[in-house]
Structure 1
Amino acid sequence: MRIAVLGAGAIGAYVGAALHRGGAEVHLIARGPHLAALREHGVRVFSPRGNFTAAASATDDPREVGPVDYVFLGLKAHQYAGCGSLISPLLGPDTAVIAAQNGIPWWYFHGLTGPLRDRRIEAVDPGGTVSEVLPVRRAIGCVVYCSTEIESPGVIRHLEGTRFSIGEPSGEVSDRCRAFSDAMVAGGLKCPVESNLRDDIWVKLMGNVAFNPLSALTRATMIEMCGHPGVRGLIAEMMRETVAIAGATGCHPSISIDRRIAGAARVGHHKTSTLQDLEAGKELELEAIIGAVVEIATLTGVPAPTLRNVYAAVDLLARTVTGPRVPVA
């Protein structure tokens, strides 16, 4: 099995190292000092589950790799539309793309029954630019329950979690999903194949939709937000609105709001990825995490005043970091 990891950052390099350890042929696509370290030393993983090094191939030119069986996409969702020149050399006729993203994926309504069947979500697929680069037929969804960070170039610190739930947009438990799951398990990761991955998407999104934008607005860690009575109440209201929106699309997250908040508090003094990006002056991953949720609220007629207000505030903040964006109505 040949697998390319496009965007071999904290999560991508960790997954690539595990797949390589499990026996897959892995090619990491990276750049800069991180790439230089990967080439010289391999991926060095430090984890409570045991440290290891994986000497996977690493390059900044996907043309050196050529078509593979799977592309594990470790990019942020807002980078998808612009990744065509990087991903096209990796795609053969049957290549599948495992998109390990936060929030609502571009394929969300593909194949669903009802009035929103195959509806494009502008927040995550503006003008169809993502679908053009990543055709839905190639997509395998992936919900990441894993926390890692780049400690230094080529060095990945695994903090917690090893589950990467995957699934077809159609709900089919396909051979290509089973084969990828087997490769992940061989590398020491959990990779259940879900017949309804959308429920998993909303379970994780309950946390992301609240904690990520609020952390950027407050500069607070997870436990600090959960421990502040006013912010905790705001988080709960955002989660209630999100659960209602999920229900309007036929999904029912299998976790209570209290339990979801309690789980976040246990993470402790951890900065969300959005806050880390803000502090680094990078573009914020807002559209998939909250913009698309607001758009789906509009499409389904679900009132979401708290989500809309927080989205407006964090959108204005993002403009001060990366310049004008087009907000979702």
Structure 2
Amino acid sequence: MKVAVLGAGAIGAYVGASLCRAGAEVHLIARGPQLAALRENGVRVLSPRGDFHTHPNATDDPAQVGPVDHVFLGIKATGYAHAGDLVRPLLHEDTTLIAAQNGIPWWYFHGLKGPYEGRRIESVDPGGAVTRALPLERAVGCVVYAATEIESPGVVRHLEGTRFSIGEPDGSISTRCTEFADAMVAGGLKCPVEPDLRADIWIKLMGNASFNPLSVLARASLAAMCRHPGTRSVVTAMMEETLEVAARLGCHPEISIERRLAGAERTGEHKTSTLQDLERGRPMELDVLLAAVVELADLTGAEVPTLRVVAAITDLLNQQVQPT
């Protein structure tokens, strides 16, 4: 099995190293100091589950890799619309695009029976740009339940979690999914193939749609927001509104808000990825995390006053930190 990891950052390099350990032919696509370190020393993973080292191929030119069986998208959703030129050289007739993104994916209504089947979500696929770059028929969803960080170029620190849930947009258990899942498991990861991946999407989105935007407004960690009565009540309201949108789309995640809050509080003084992006002057992933939920609320008639206010304020903030 030949796999390309487009965006070999903390998650991408961790997945690539694990697949390489399982015997897959892995090509990491990276740039800058990370690429130089990957070429020279490979990937070193530091983990409470045991350290390991692998040496996958590494390049900044997908044309040098050629067609692969699976492309694991380790880039942020903000880069999807511009990924077409990078992805194209990696494709053969049956290549799968495994999208490890937070938030609402561009393929959400693809293969979903019901009144919204085939509908495009403008906030995550503006003008169809993402669909043109990443064809819907190649898409496989992936919800990441792992925390990693780049300790130094080429060195990934695995903090917690090894589950990467994947699933077809139409809910089928496909050969392409089981093939990829088997390789992930052989590499030491959990990779269940879910017939209803959208439930996983909404469970994770309960936290991402609330904690992530609030963290940039409060400059606060997950634990701090949970301990503060005011922000805890705002988070609760945002989670309730998010679940209402999910319900109107026919999705009913089996997790309580209190359990979700307790899990976030146990994470401790962790900064959300959105806050980290703000501090580094990078565009924040607010469209797929929050704007999409508001758009879906408008589509379904759900009342989401708290989400709407936070979305407006953080959108203005995001415009101010966009690179010139």
Q: Which bracket does the TM-score occupy, shorter chain normalised?
A: over 0.9
2:228 is aligned with 1:196: no
Residue 110 of structure 1: SS of its match in structure 2? coil
Does the 8 Å contact 2:281/2:323 carry over to 1?
no
One-letter amino acid matched to 1:304 = V
Q: Give the match for residue 81 of structure 1.
A: 81
Q: Give the match for residue 102 of structure 2.
A: 102
How far the C-alpha of 1:319 sits from its partner, in A, is 1.2
TM-score, normalized by length of structure 2? Answer: 0.99
- Equivalent runs, 1:99-138 vs 2, <5 Å: 99-138=99-138
TM-score, normalized by length of structure 1? Answer: 0.98
Q: Give the match for residue 58 of structure 2.
A: 58
CA offset digits 1:96-141 (Å, max 9, x no partner): 0000000000000112222211100001100111001111100000
Q: Give the match for residue 26 of structure 2.
A: 26
Q: State the alpha-carbon separation in 2 of the partners of residues 68 and 129 from structure 1.
A: 23
One-letter amino acid matched to 1:47 = S
Q: Give the match for residue 144 of structure 1.
A: 144
Does the 8 Å contact 2:282/2:323 carry over to 1?
no
Q: State the alpha-carbon separation in 2 of the partners of residues 300 and 54 from structure 1.
A: 48
How far the C-alpha of 1:265 sits from its partner, in A, is 0.4
2:162 is aligned with 1:162: yes
Does the 8 Å contact 2:107/2:169 carry over to 1?
yes
> Over aligned residues, Cα RMSD in angstroms?
0.8
Q: Give the match for residue 276 of structure 2.
A: 276
- Equivalent runs, 1:223-234 vs 2, <5 Å: 223-234=223-234
Q: State the alpha-carbon separation in 1 of the partners of residues 284 and 64 from structure 2.
A: 31
Q: State the alpha-carbon separation in 2 of the partners of residues 145 and 114 from structure 1.
A: 29
Q: Give the match for residue 238 of structure 1.
A: 238
- Equivalent runs, 1:245-256 vs 2, <5 Å: 245-256=245-256
* Larger CA deviation: 108-117 vs 197-206: 108-117
Structure 2 unmatched runs, 5+:
none
How far the C-alpha of 1:323 sits from its partner, in A, is 6.4
Residue 92 of structure 1: SS of its match in structure 2? coil
Q: Give the match for residue 71 of structure 2.
A: 71
Q: Give the match for residue 327 of structure 1.
A: none
One-letter amino acid matched to 2:301 = G
Q: State the alpha-carbon separation in 1 of the partners of residues 173 and 299 from structure 2.
A: 29
Q: State the alpha-carbon separation in 2 of the partners of residues 69 and 113 from structure 1.
A: 28
Q: State the alpha-carbon separation in 1 of the partners of residues 102 and 112 from structure 2.
A: 20
2:171 is aligned with 1:171: yes
One-letter amino acid matched to 1:312 = A
